[in-house]
């Protein structure tokens, strides 16, 4: 246990140091182009390194033995997903410490008005909800792996369970991962007017913080028969009534094209394909399946996003929609060509390019 603690504190120190070094580097590069150079890629690398280091150091096995020692009924399939929670917690802590190291430089580079405590707290809330969702998704995997000879008839049931779980996450993702505030009377008046003009049937769920990060967006969650719309406070400050209507119209078109359901099905299909090939074939087959199916499904989602943009532009005008899209800062606009092709959502620059071409 002392060795694991020493390893974890070492990971925290390395993550914080990496964040500081990268922050200084990005600040120097910002003088040349003033664009983000991959803060979230750094956090991804730190998270993967911490996860693999803690897992191979034996933290997962030690936690599973500790859970099984509490009561024999906890051994087996139930203990396996829970055994990953300390590893996930240690990984999240390493990511947050790295983000704490890089954030002062990111705030200076982008001239943000937000404290480090607030930014780290928001990221912690999001990562914690993701970790709980992944831990729940590990249950079918561990159950199938533990079975000596699982029946292929379980494959449809597996896909159905994953689809339901992913859709449940989609329904509550905004409320679980964001801070929601009630709109002021003036904000509600503008939102209700924009929603009426855009003919958006979703109820107004609240206002999300976006002023500090210059993020203008309208987000939906909830089941398809009871959608709720959330708008960032920056969108209400930065957009005029026409652009705000365009933002709501884009959300309406996305809802009509069932973008939330499509994303849930894509995540379920990829996870289910990986589990199926891993359990009934091999891990190598599962990875190959992900490598082939992932880009194809991501391209499908991108085409759906472009189609929603075109329909919204026809409804409210290209200029209004372009103004709404350009209002917020897109942190992923510096993607490489490969990243852009593999991402399920296109970057802002590519969306604007497609709109102008259309």
User: Residue 78: what pLDDT?
Assistant: 58
Q: How far is CA 49 from the centre of its chain?
A: 19
- pTM check: above 0.75: no
Virtual torsion, Cα 78, 61, 280, 342, nearest 10 deg: 100
268, 176, 265: which is closest to 228 by C-alpha?
Answer: 176
Q: Which residue has the tokens 């979230």?
A: 40
Q: What is the pLDDT of residues 19-56, one digit of tens each?
A: 888 888 877 765 444 444 567 788 888 988 988 888 88
Q: What is the DSSP letter of 76?
A: T
Which burial class, exposed, middle or buried, applies to 127 when counting CB atoms under 10 A from its CB (0-12, 13-18, 19+)? buried
Domain ranges of the chain: 2-146, 185-357
SS (H, E, C) 164-223: HHHHHHHHHHHHHHCCCECCCHHHHHHHHHHHHHHCCCCEEEEEECCCCCCCCCEEEECC
Q: What is the DSSP letter of 72?
A: G
Residue-level pLDDT, tens digit, the chain, 358 residues: 777 888 888 889 988 898 888 888 877 765 444 444 567 788 888 988 988 888 888 887 787 777 777 766 666 555 666 777 888 888 999 999 999 988 888 777 776 677 888 888 888 888 888 887 777 767 666 667 666 677 777 788 888 888 888 888 778 888 877 888 898 999 999 999 999 999 988 889 889 887 767 788 889 888 888 889 999 888 888 888 899 999 999 999 999 999 988 988 898 888 888 888 887 888 788 889 988 998 899 999 999 999 999 999 988 888 888 888 887 655 445 666 777 777 788 888 888 888 887 6
User: Residue 148: what pLDDT?
Assistant: 64
Cβ atoms within 10 Å of 104's Cβ, excluding its own:
14
């Amino acid at each position: 246990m002392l060795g694991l603690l020493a390893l974890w504190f070492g990971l925290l120190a390395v993550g914080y140091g990496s964040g500081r070094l990268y922050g200084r580097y990005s600040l120097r590069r910002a003088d040349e182009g003033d664009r983000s150079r991959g803060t979230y890629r750094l956090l991804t690398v730190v998270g993967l390194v911490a996860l693999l280091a803690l897992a191979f150091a034996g933290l997962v096995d030690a936690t599973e033995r500790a859970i099984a020692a509490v009561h024999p009924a906890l051994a087996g399939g139930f203990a396996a997903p829970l055994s990953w929670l300390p590893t996930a917690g240690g990984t999240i802590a390493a990511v947050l410490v790295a983000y704490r190291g890089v954030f002062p430089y990111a705030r200076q580079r982008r001239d943000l008005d937000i404290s480090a405590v607030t930014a780290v707290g928001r990221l912690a809330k999001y990562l914690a909800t993701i970790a709980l969702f992944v831990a729940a998704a590990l249950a079918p995997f561990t159950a199938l792996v533990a079975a000596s000879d699982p029946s292929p008839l379980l494959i449809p049931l597996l896909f159905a369970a994953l689809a339901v779980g992913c859709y449940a996450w989609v329904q509550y993702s905004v409320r679980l991962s964001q801070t929601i505030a009630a709109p002021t009377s003036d904000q509600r008046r503008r939102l209700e007017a924009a929603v009426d003009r855009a003919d958006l049937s979703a109820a107004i769920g609240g206002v999300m913080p976006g002023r500090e990060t210059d993020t203008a967006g309208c987000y939906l969650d909830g089941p398809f028969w009871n959608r709720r719309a959330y708008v960032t406070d920056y969108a209400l400050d930065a957009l005029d009534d026409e652009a705000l209507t365009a933002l709501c119209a884009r959300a309406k078109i996305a809802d009509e094209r069932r973008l939330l359901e499509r994303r849930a099905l894509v995540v379920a299909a990829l996870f289910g394909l990986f589990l199926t090939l891993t359990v009934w074939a091999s891990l190598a087959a599962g990875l190959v399946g992900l490598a082939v199916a992932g880009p194809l499904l991501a391209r499908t989602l991108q085409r759906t996003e472009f189609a929603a943009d075109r329909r919204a532009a026809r409804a409210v005008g290209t200029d209004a929609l372009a103004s709404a899209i350009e209002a917020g800062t897109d942190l992923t606009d510096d993607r490489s060509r490969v990243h852009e092709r593999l991402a399920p959502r296109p970057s802002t620059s590519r969306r604007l390019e497609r709109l102008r071409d259309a």
